[in-house]
Amino acid sequence: MRRSQQVYDPVLVSIGPYHHGKPGLRRAEEFKHHCLDRCPGGDEKKKAFFSSKILEEAAAIRDSYAEGKIVEKYDDKSLALMMLLDASIIIDFIHNYLGLPGNSFSDWQQCLGAGSGPLMVRDILLMENQIPLQVLQLFITLQYEKGEAASFLPRLFSMFLSYKRRIVDVDLKNAEILQEIGDPKIHFLEAFRRVIVMKNKKKIKEEDRVMSVYSSIICIVDAGISYMHRSVMDLKAKGIRIRPDPDLSAADITFVPGLSNMIAFEVLAHGCSSLVVLSYAIFLKSLLVQSPQDVKELQTNGVILNRLANLEKVVEVIKDIDTFGED
């Protein structure tokens, strides 16, 4: 993976084997034990039971990592403990995020700082900072009642996207999300990516999938516009306006680390059959945004939600998106 940007490395917590044991993440490593103690209610027998259940899945956990050598240095017990601790801090965070009873906001702030929430969201969406979804689902099933366990991750993904509803129409049902993330071998990042592109994917016929990846660009080419040399303001001058598409769910990605890591997953991961997020980024980076005026137009039309200090910074951020040489 390219390491030219600091968007692929965790800043708060290590999840999985890639960054495990890094000195700069030690505080969160210690906090994981606190989360594990809280999850089973401090019962050592329950913790041992959880650990044994994860240990039973050790072979499948190893197979879920494309780079097998990254887990070779851990025996099954060490790997199971890592998974247990990592699942504990993720589930504790989600429990708080969903506003469930018995939250531990004060503990997070005291141990990891007031800004730990956004940093945790950032870190659990990094390509090389992942554990298999089956570990999370197993731990959730063992901790929560059946109905609550089934809705745990779908509610999280829905809440991640719910604040966008005033800009794009995001209405994801729990059953739809469960079906989309049903493969136990995938990691959290892939599950989140599947949810983000799900609405667009549902409308695409299988035989049209390759063409649909570049559908936004193709539409402009069909209109007689040379897209390699056109920006939003150029298109506006030709009477063509850009507006948000409620079915183009990739437009919901608003933060660079998550976007960049989804692109990395599409480009580098084995078995990823579509390049939806990469295509969106190329379209945004190479065509739409060339100047602050383009950003202002997209912001006015509700295509971009800008929380940065100025328009120039938005242009800079978009140009810095790593598309792995595909643009």
Average pLDDT over all residues of the chain: 79
Q: How many Å is the maximal CA-CA distance in the chain? A: 69
Question: Does residue 318 have a pLDDT over 60?
Answer: yes
What pLDDT does residue 78 have? 96
- Give the model confidence (pLDDT) of 31-44 as tens digits: 999 999 987 666 88
Q: How far is CA 41 from CA 36, 89, 102, 169, in A?
A: 8, 14, 11, 40
Q: Which of 249, 266, 238 is nearest to 322 (CA)?
A: 266
- Cα 118-122-124 angle, rounded to 5 deg: 115
Terminal C-alpha separation, the chain: 17
> Of 196, 220, 238, which marks where a domain is finished?
196
What pLDDT does residue 23 have? 95
11 located within any domain: no
What pLDDT does residue 230 have? 61
Q: How far is CA 111 from CA 22, 32, 120, 204, 300, in A?
A: 18, 11, 13, 46, 40
Q: Which of 194, 184, 190 is nearest to 270 (CA)?
A: 190
Q: What is the mean pLDDT of residues 121-140?
A: 93
300 located within any domain: yes
Q: Are residues 87 and 192 in the same domain?
A: yes
Total number of domains in the chain: 2
Expressed as residue numbers, the domain containing 243 is: 197-319
What pLDDT does residue 102 have? 84
pTM summary value? 0.79
Instruction: Please report where in the chains the tokens 């999370």 appear, as a residue.
Output: 136
15 located within any domain: no
Q: Are residues 130 and 242 in the same domain?
A: no
Question: Does residue 75 have a pLDDT over 90?
Answer: yes
Q: Are residues 184 and 266 in the same domain?
A: no
- Distance between CA 176 and CA 174 in Å, rounded? 5
10 located within any domain: no
Q: 238 forms bridges with which residues in the sheet?
A: none
Q: What is the mean pLDDT of residues 157-178?
A: 60
Question: Does residue 324 have a pLDDT over 80?
Answer: yes
Written as six digits, the tokens of 232 are 């939003």
Q: Of 102-106, 114-118, 202-206, where does mean pLDDT reach its minimum? A: 202-206
| Size (the chain), residues | 327
> Of 179, 196, 213, which marks where a domain is finished?
196
Q: Are residues 160 and 57 in the same domain?
A: yes
Q: Are residues 229 and 280 in the same domain?
A: yes
Contact by Cβ (8 Å): 273, 216: no
Q: Are residues 48 and 175 in the same domain?
A: yes
159 located within any domain: yes
Q: Are residues 100 and 174 in the same domain?
A: yes
What pLDDT does residue 201 have? 55
Q: Of 170-174, 252-256, 276-280, where does mean pLDDT reach its minimum? A: 252-256
- Give the model confidence (pLDDT) of 187-217 as tens digits: 999 988 888 777 555 544 443 443 343 444 4
3 located within any domain: no
8 located within any domain: no
What pLDDT does residue 120 have? 94
Q: Of 46-50, 221-225, 289-293, where does mean pLDDT reach its minimum? A: 221-225
Q: Are residues 174 and 216 in the same domain?
A: no
Q: Are residues 37 and 183 in the same domain?
A: yes
Question: Does residue 94 have a pLDDT over 60?
Answer: yes
- Distance between CA 97 and CA 105 in Å, rounded? 9
Residue predicted with more confidence, 101 or 215:
101
> Of 196, 222, 254, which marks where a domain is finished?
196
What pLDDT does residue 10 have? 95
Residue predicted with more confidence, 310 or 254:
310
Residue predicted with more confidence, 218 or 270:
270
Q: Which of 307, 170, 321, 316 is nearest to 249 (CA)?
A: 170
188 located within any domain: yes
Q: Are residues 211 and 139 in the same domain?
A: no
Q: Are residues 156 and 211 in the same domain?
A: no
Q: Are residues 165 and 105 in the same domain?
A: yes
